[in-house]
Amino acid sequence: MVATDLGMPGRRPNLAAPVEPFRQFVVKIHSRCNLSCDYCYVYHHVDQSWRDRPMVMSARTIAALAARIGDHARDHQIEKIFLVLHGGEPLLAGPSVITDVIEAVRCGIPADTTVDVTLQTNGTLVDDHLLDVLSRHQVGVGVSLDGGRAATDQHRRFADGRPSFALVEAGIARLRAADGVWTGLLCAVDLANDPIQVYEDLLTLEPPSLDLLLPLANWVHRPPGHDPAATPYAEWLIKVFDRWFDSPVRETGIRLFESIVMLALGGASDTEAVGLDSPAAITVETDGSLEVTDALKTTAPGLGALGMSVHLHSLDEAARHPAVRATRRVVENLGSGCQICPISSVCGGGQYSHRFGPDFGFAHPSVYCRDLYHLITHIRGRVGDAVQALGR
């Protein structure tokens, strides 16, 4: 693990504070992918740890994982946990492994704990057999893509260069036909694409909800088109926001926008991208290794690794790790400038990995700071005007 100040030069996370239990378990059931998207944070970024992982989570690791989650839920009397099946491409693990993980976790938790299972896929491998398994186990399925055919095929291709959109579109059609399985889309923002075109292309797929993700980047590995004096990502997102917000009927949910609106209204966020609500998440690799968050794979090699494993360590031990405590979304963990910023309660410092700087710390504003400020103040203004207009 790379030595780091964990974002708090001169100050360490409060190790005496009570442990915040995990509620969300991002489980890598398969470490490889059938696509080779050129921006992928797992395969095409600074951390290449995937090369040393087993391809599929073994029965032994699944059993250890389920036991750890069960103990954790029992010890902390957790009412509800979120099991996120992830990869690589999790559908490569096949129906039996998917079933084994879900059944093991469900068997391991206390009777009064519920588990919400979701799976994030590239959508190219959804067939009727897998769909039957996902439906039977009440798995909510999210699909990743970048917009319509042209936008998606620009980056999301097979290793031999073949485009993926046609397969994804067919996979989404199957998911849509299976009532209640499809949960929505994750779409990474690409400034090269027209924002309204991207949104409208996504709408044609009739997603129940979607999210627009800022590219995983930081002050060392800057986002495409980054200019500290400009706000290109805010401009892109605002075009979509205005189109979405001004629709007389809500066409779909957009997680980032709805989170900012709800935070502006005094509510809570749905995403760790904004706000000070904690995801309380831990990532489990195919070999059982524990990582803080996958996004740290875009900072420095091994920075997200805790040096712990479900085979050797309890989840309480992981929750006490300084690196986990440093990621807690509390004002004290933000940089000094962010702590006095008037929109910090809405922004929350942005996503943790976006704050990584050349000093190997995270006590920096987000690399998207100006974009977030512009986007949030725009949305706040639009919400304020809309609410006031209702009273006229």
Partner 1 sequence: MTPPNATPIETGLVRVADVPLDQLLALREAGDTALGHCLRRVIERAASGKQESVAAFNAAPLRRS
Footprint (CB under 8 A) of partner 1, residues 263-322: 264-273, 275, 277-281, 293-295
Binding mask 72-91 for partner 1 (x = CB under 8 A): --------x-x-x-x-----
Residue 325 binds partner 1, judged by CB under 8 A: no
Binding mask 332-371 for partner 1 (x = CB under 8 A): ----------xx-xx----x--------------------
DSSP secondary-structure letter at 187? E
* Closest distance to partner 1 from the beta carbon of 168 (Å): 15
Binding mask 37-66 for partner 1 (x = CB under 8 A): ------------------------------
CB-CB contact of 2 with 360 (8 Å): yes
* Closest distance to partner 1 from the beta carbon of 103 (Å): 19
Q: How many residues bind partner 1 (CB under 8 A)?
A: 71
Residue 26 binds partner 1, judged by CB under 8 A: yes
| Number of Cα atoms under 13 Å in the Cβ half of residue 309 | 13
Q: Which residue's CB is nearer to partner 1, number 105 or number 185?
A: 185
CB-CB contact of 308 with 317 (8 Å): yes
Which among 43, 111, 381, 374 has a CA at the least distance from the CA of 230? 374
Q: Which residue's CB is nearer to partner 1, number 46 or number 63?
A: 46
Q: Which residue's CB is nearer to partner 1, number 38 or number 79?
A: 79
- Output the DSSP codes for 302-334: TTTEEEEETTT--HHHHHHSHHHHHTS--GGGS
Write the secondary structure of 377-388 as one string of H (helix), E (strand) and C (coil).
Answer: HHHHHHHHHHHH
CB-CB contact of 306 with 294 (8 Å): no
Binding mask 122-151 for partner 1 (x = CB under 8 A): ----------------x-xxx---------
CB-CB contact of 374 with 234 (8 Å): yes
Q: Which residue's CB is nearer to partner 1, number 191 or number 213?
A: 213
Query: What CA–CA distance (Å, rounded) separates 174 from 155?
Result: 23
Residues in the chain: 392
Residue 223 binds partner 1, judged by CB under 8 A: no
Q: Which of 63, 150, 262, 330 touches partner 1 (CB under 8 A)? A: 262
Q: Which residue's CB is nearer to partner 1, number 63 or number 133?
A: 133
Angle at 384 between CA 381 and CA 389, to 5 degrees: 125
Angle at 58 between CA 52 and CA 62, to 5 degrees: 115
* Closest distance to partner 1 from the beta carbon of 161 (Å): 25
Q: Which residue's CB is nearer to partner 1, number 219 or number 244?
A: 244
Residue 23 binds partner 1, judged by CB under 8 A: yes
Q: What is the CA radius of gyration of the chain?
A: 20
Residues 171-200 touching partner 1, rule: CB under 8 A, are 180, 183-186
Neighbours of 112 (CB within 10 A): 10
Contacts of 290 (CB under 8 A, 6+ apart): 282, 283, 284, 305, 306, 308, 309, 310, 313, 318
* Closest distance to partner 1 from the beta carbon of 160 (Å): 25
Q: Which residue's CB is nearer to partner 1, number 63 or number 178?
A: 178
Query: What CA–CA distance (Å, rounded) separates 142 from 209?
Result: 9
Q: Which of 10, 161, 248, 358 touches partner 1 (CB under 8 A)? A: 248
* Closest distance to partner 1 from the beta carbon of 60 (Å): 25
Query: What CA–CA distance (Å, rounded) separates 254 from 313?
Result: 37
* Closest distance to partner 1 from the beta carbon of 19 (Å): 15
CB-CB contact of 211 with 271 (8 Å): yes
56: which strand partners? 30
Q: Which residue's CB is nearer to partner 1, number 271 or number 314?
A: 271
Q: Which stretch binds partner 1 (CB under 8 A): 9-17, 93-101, 299-307, 381-389?
A: 381-389
Q: Which residue's CB is nearer to partner 1, number 56 or number 292?
A: 292
Residue 208 binds partner 1, judged by CB under 8 A: yes
